[in-house]
Amino acid sequence: MIKLKSREDLFAVFLSLAMVAWSASTSAQTPSAPPMPDSAAPTWSDVASWDSVHPSITKNIVYANVPILPNPSANGDPGVAGGGASTVANSPNAAPGTMDLHLDVLQVSSSKPTPVVIQLHGGGWIRGSRPSSYKTFNALLAAGMSVVTVDYRLAKDAPAPAAIGDVRCAMAWVKANAAKYNFDLSRVVVYGASAGGHLALMAAYAPASFNPPGCTDQPKVAAVLDFYGPTNLVEGLSEHGSSDFTHQWLGVEKPLFPYAPASGAAVTGDGAPALPSSRTPRWAAPNGATLARARQMSPMNYIHAGLPPTFIVNGDHDGAVDPTQDAQLKKALTAAGVPNGQDIVPGGGHGNFSKAESDKAMLLCLQFLKAQGVLQ
């Protein structure tokens, strides 16, 4: 019997077992990284080193100016997600009825061009903004990657597919500004959690028909990091944890009960007004137009050979996005011959993992990126 002397010993054993599970779950098309002696291990493999990162940050860069479009499905006051950057006013030359979209660039010093991660926040497409703290990205920064955090139009600003087009414009901005910010365009990663995970998948998988005018010149995506993102929006329309915000973003139908003004009725945890009864449905059964748009906005609709390698992280007790969606994505990617991997968090919900589980997930992501040649 092995005796563990400290919490650090316990974490080391836990991480070793997780790495074995990752190797087993990774697609056969993904070569396993050969074992390295400790002296050859990259610095970022030591989780303790992540806290020493202090990046330079360029904030509130306008990457696009876009129209605000009516959305009959959206709650105009969905609430504010915690931990996000403050709203930035439009620039003086922004036309009425439009909004500036902003991004931040986080970097560590490097004499060579760096891999770049385009990060997309979550919030069910109805709320949220780019994170206000760089500490969320310590692991990526410690691995020598630049991080570009992106805002996009929420449901109240425009229905689908506007957010996907915004992300494609952010990708075009990255390519246009690669020399200025020392980005290596051969190592571009898209990464997001929840709705951001969905947008990361769509950014990498969806066809060029999603590209807005003026945003067609984009870098090739080298890899995708998908943290519990919805992959099948048709299923999401009928799932309790995701039905409301999926309907809101798709923007086809009106809710059965109108949203109350900000100073009106009590709101539920998703920022929507409380219903007359917990059993009262907010939405009618989806009509044909809603189902058609849901299919069009689903990453599962675009799986084919040649997609970027994809690593999936999800909890096995996710109440917002059914874990079967993650399983279906992995199965489809494997069948198509797309390199992939997965970290399933035991007992994990829709994010909010323990620090140990979060650290493990990020370390597995870095290992995956190294196996794909994104990290050296």
User: Is 369 within 8 Å of 184 (Cβ atoms)?
Assistant: no
Residues of the chain with pLDDT under 50: 1-37, 262-275
Backbone angles phi, psi at 170, to 5 degrees: -65, -40
Q: Chain-centre distance of CA 195, in angstroms?
A: 6
User: Is 206 within 8 Å of 167 (Cβ atoms)?
Assistant: no
Q: Walk across the sheet containing 146-150 and list its strands.
A: 56-67, 98-107, 146-150, 114-120, 183-193, 221-227, 310-315, 340-345
> If you count them, how many residues does the chain have?
376
Amino acid 365 reads: C
User: Is 189 within 8 Å of 223 (Cβ atoms)?
Assistant: yes
- Report pLDDT for 22: 44
Domains of the chain: 56-82+98-234+289-371 (3.40.50.1820)
Q: What pTM does this model have?
A: 0.87
- Report pLDDT for 278: 55
- Report pLDDT for 38: 55
- Report pLDDT for 277: 54
The model's pLDDT over 348-366, given as tens digits with 9 standing for 90+, comes to: 999 999 999 999 999 999 9
Cα–Cα nearest to 148, from 213, 200, 211, 209: 200
**Which residues face 189 on adjacent strands?**
117, 223
Cα distance between residue 24 and residue 167, in whole Å:
33
User: Is 308 within 8 Å of 204 (Cβ atoms)?
Assistant: yes
Cα distance between residue 145 and residue 147, in whole Å:
6
Helix, coil or strand: residue 281? coil
